[in-house]
Each structure stands twice: as C-alpha cells, then as structure tokens.
Amino acid sequence: MPTENDQPTTQRLSSPETLQMSLAAAMTLNLKEGLFFRNARLYCLNLLLTYPSGCRGNCSYCGLQKSRDGAFSEKSFIRVSWPTYDLETIIQKTLENRHKLHRVCLSMITHPRALEDTLYLIRRFREEVGLPLSVLMNPTSMKTADVAALQQAGAQMAAVALDLADEALFDRHRGSGAKGPHRFDHYWSMLAATAEVFGKNKAGCHLICGMGEREEDLIRRIQSVRDLGARTHLFSFYPEKGSRLADAPACPAGQYRRVQLARFLIDNDLSRSQVMAFDEEGRIKDFGLPPEDLEGWIDSGRPFMTSGCPGGGLETACNRPFGDGPPSDIRSYPFPPEEEDVARIKDQMGWETN
C-alpha cells in the first residue's frame, strides 16, 4: 500500500484509505438516507480521491479549487456534496448493494500520489467487487505512457475531463489564466492515448456547455473527440458555490438542448459536424438530418439524458442524478424524459412542431 508522504492540514483523511463519494452514491449504498426526485436511481458508484492538502489545480468553476478557503474534505466537487468514507466500508457496502450498480468510477485529482493510489484502488475493486470500472484521469499527474497501466490494472474505460471547447478557454479557466497547472495540449494527447489504448467507445471526454464558447466550437470539438473513437460526456454549466464562477449565469437551457442533440447524433454516428450548419453567431441551425428523422430522435427523449459511461445494457450507467441542474430545472435527465418533459425540451430549444 502506498505510504502517506503528505503534510495533513486540518484532518488526516487521505486516499487510498479514504475516498469521497457523490451524495447519490452514498444514498445508493444506504450510507445516507433519502430518495431522489421522481425516484431517479443511480447505476454508477462515483468515487473521488481525497488528500489533506487538496487538489493542486485551480480551475475557476470547480468547488475543489486550492485558492478556496476551508478544509479540503469539506469542499464539494460539483453541485452536490461529496461525503467521505473509509475504503473498507465502501467496499463492504458496495458488495451489499452490488445488484443496484453497473459500474464504479474513480476520479483522480491533481496530486503527486494520485496515479499510484488509483492503480491500487483499481486492483482492490477489480479483485473484491468485480464491477466494470472507469477512471476519470487527471492528465496533469500522468504521462501518456501511464494510460496502459490503468488498463493493465483492470480499468475497462477511462476518460479525460477536457471540460472546455478550445485552448483559449481552457487556458483561461484551468491553465495559466487561472494560475493553474493544466495544459490543453497535454490533455488532448492523453485523450488520444486513451482512445488508442482502450479502443473505440471505451474512452470518454467530459465537456461543459455554457463556459463562454459558441455552439459551433463545442460541436466541432465533440466531432474531433468522436474522430478519435471516443465519446463526449456532456455537462451543462451550473455555478458551483464557493468557486470563482459562483455568480456566473448557468448555461441557457436552449443552448444546452441543441448541443445535447448534436452530441447524441455525432456520438451515435447519425450525423457529423461537417454537414451541420451554423448561423453567424455560431448557433446551430441545421443538424444535417431530415426534419422528420430529427423530430423522431427528439421525441425519443434519448438525446437529453445524461451522457456517460455505459453499463448493464444502459446507454449510460453513470447518470449522475441532478448533477448539473436542480430537479426544478433538469438539464441532463437521469431517466427517460416523459411526454411533458419532451414538450418542455422542445419549448426550450425553440423547436416548432408542425
């Protein structure tokens, strides 16, 4: 087991002996009480590495950023709280509740020990739990040659959180413009290496819609991710309390719906950004499909569900209930949208039914 060489700040809570997990995961493992709105269920155990000294990144939109006050383990990762549990409890509770889950995900943070601890955790989960496992990598803590080690240890999929559509926005929110350590080129190389090592549809790229980019730029990025053989896991920007973007507006619903639809078509090889059309402000005006086909996909509701790693026959096992918007304003649907949801979605995206 790796040894602790970190200097604790306020309390000694450190991976790999300790992990944070999403509130939804804690509810699924019966570690927290509660029911989700509309009985949403989670199918992926989302776990996050944690260290007393915190994440070395400084991303403008993240609740874990190092410049924010407070003990690291009390900071939330994204939108909802991420309580902390010891690894043995997590493994035991996962085994008890294994029938509810189709996947486990380990999220790395920017820390010198993150890779070593992740490899140890992959092996423990592979040997003791046996569910398909994804790693949300932290490229800054890794080299492209390390990607193969994740697969050899037992990871079945891996993803890179590029988050931003282009290099200038990446630099502003995560790189030198944010006094952060991340570099766009390295993230992109890591994604390409992941697609190569893990194979088609086994690599993912997290992208956030509503960070100041144009629809066209994000959609072209989604296409370049697809051209690597990877898929995009899309998020709607929602201001995280305590982050530097806490007062920034959430992504407009219409913008997110249009990009969700384009992502669905691109990732399922139903259309390509090259045959889509955009207006002078970069807003999509033609998805490259006959209107009746397009309406069929919209009516299915599938394009508006959470996009993430699959499992158990589901397009997305990692459905992150209400992870990018409150239940009163659902952005990524953790369940199939119902008829009234689809009507609302059409209204949000300005779709005119004939």
Please say which residue, 131 or 218, places its beta carbon nearer to ligand SF4.
Answer: 131
* Site track 78-117 with ligand SF4 (rule: CB under 6 A), x = hit: -------------------------x-x------------
d(CA 105, CA 124): 13
Please say which residue, 46 or 58, places its beta carbon nearer to ligand SF4.
Answer: 46
Q: Are strands 18-21 and 84-86 parallel, antiparallel or unpaired?
A: antiparallel
In whole angstroms, the minimum distance from the beta carbon of 278 to ligand SF4 comes to 27
- When asked if residue 25 is in the footprint of ligand SF4 (CB under 6 A), the reply is no
In whole angstroms, the minimum distance from the beta carbon of 247 to ligand SF4 comes to 26
Structure tokens belonging to residue 239: 């201001």
- Please count the residues of the chain: 354
Please tell me the count of residues contacting ligand SF4 according to CB under 6 A: 13
Instruction: State which of positions 134-163 bind ligand SF4 (CB under 6 A).
Output: 134, 136, 159
Please say which residue, 131 or 165, places its beta carbon nearer to ligand SF4.
Answer: 131
Please say which residue, 314 or 343, places its beta carbon nearer to ligand SF4.
Answer: 314
Closest to 341 (Cα-Cα) out of 314, 304, 294: 304
In whole angstroms, the minimum distance from the beta carbon of 45 to ligand SF4 comes to 9
Position among 19, 44, 169, 211 found at the interface with ligand SF4 (CB under 6 A): 44
Please say which residue, 101 or 105, places its beta carbon nearer to ligand SF4.
Answer: 105
In whole angstroms, the minimum distance from the beta carbon of 254 to ligand SF4 comes to 24
In whole angstroms, the minimum distance from the beta carbon of 172 to ligand SF4 comes to 23
* Site track 298-337 with ligand SF4 (rule: CB under 6 A), x = hit: ----------xx--------x-------------------
In whole angstroms, the minimum distance from the beta carbon of 310 to ligand SF4 comes to 9
Structure tokens belonging to residue 126: 């592979």
In whole angstroms, the minimum distance from the beta carbon of 263 to ligand SF4 comes to 13
- When asked if residue 284 is in the footprint of ligand SF4 (CB under 6 A), the reply is no
Please say which residue, 236 or 348, places its beta carbon nearer to ligand SF4.
Answer: 236
Structure tokens belonging to residue 261: 């639809």
Please say which residue, 13 or 318, places its beta carbon nearer to ligand SF4.
Answer: 318
Please say which residue, 190 or 276, places its beta carbon nearer to ligand SF4.
Answer: 190
Three-state SS for the chain is CCCCCCCCCCCCCCCCCEEEECHHHHHHCCCCCCCCHHHCCCCEEEEEECCCCCCCCCCCCCCCCCCCCCCHHHCCCECECCCEEEHHHHHHHHHHCHHHCCEEEEECCCCCCHHHHHHHHHHHHHHHCCCCEEEEECHHHCCHHHHHHHHHHCCCEEEEEEECCCHHHHHHHCCHHHCCCCCHHHHHHHHHHHHHHHCCCCEEEEEEECCCCCHHHHHHHHHHHHHCCCEEEEEECCCCCCCCCCCCCCCCHHHHHHHHHHHHHHHCCCCCHHHCEECCCCCEEECCCCHHHHHHHHHHCHHHECCCCCECCECCCCCCCCCCCCHHHCCCECCCCCHHHHHHHHHHCCCCCC
Please say which residue, 206 or 346, places its beta carbon nearer to ligand SF4.
Answer: 206
- When asked if residue 233 is in the footprint of ligand SF4 (CB under 6 A), the reply is yes
Binding site for ligand SF4 (CB under 6 A): 44, 46, 103, 105, 134, 136, 159, 204, 206, 233, 308-309, 318
